[in-house]
Amino acid sequence: MADNADIQTIAEDDWGAAMAEQAVAETEAAALQPQAASQTIFKEFSGKGSKAETHNDIDFILDIPVQLTVELGRTKIAIKNLLQLAQGSVIELDGLAGEPMDVLVNGCLIAQGEVVVVNDKFGIRLTDIITPAERIRKLNK
């Protein structure tokens, strides 16, 4: 039976052989590829492109789903009180009646609005859109 020193030497030899083989393969691959091909792997992302290219880039993300949430208000409640809730229970929220509700996209506040009813369905009429500068300012608070 081989001792630990022999096993370690064999393992180091195998590792060294594998590293040498990888270096040879990388050298051969680099010699086969033209230099220009490696520089054009990634397209330059700057404002120098045409508007048509930018439009196509935007089309690429238009079908990505996001979660839109309208928040009436929030509250903190103890688990003891949560377990006592039953049908018909009322939970007091921190939002005031008539106060604008928050519209969030993936948890990020983007607008505020008021509830409307159209054809027996609830909706929200946007009254204020949060600008990117305001969103950043609120994140820093």
Q: Which domains are seen in the chain, by residue range?
A: 1-63 (no CATH), 65-140 (2.30.330.10)
The pLDDT mean for the chain works out to 78
pTM of this structure:
0.51
Whole-number pLDDT of residue 95: 80
Count of H-run helices and E-run strands, the chain: 5, 4
Chain centroid offset of residue 94 CA: 29
Mean pLDDT of 70-75: 88
User: Among 12-16, 52-56, 73-77, 109-113, whose mean pLDDT is lowest?
Assistant: 52-56
Place of tokens 């688990």: 79
For the stretch 41-72, pLDDT in tens is 666 666 555 555 555 677 888 889 999 999 88
**Which has more confidence, 11 or 27?**
27
The answer to whether 51 and 65 are in contact (CB under 8 A) is: no
* Short-list 114, 134, 112, 136, CA closest to 123: 114
Predicted pLDDT of residue 45: 61
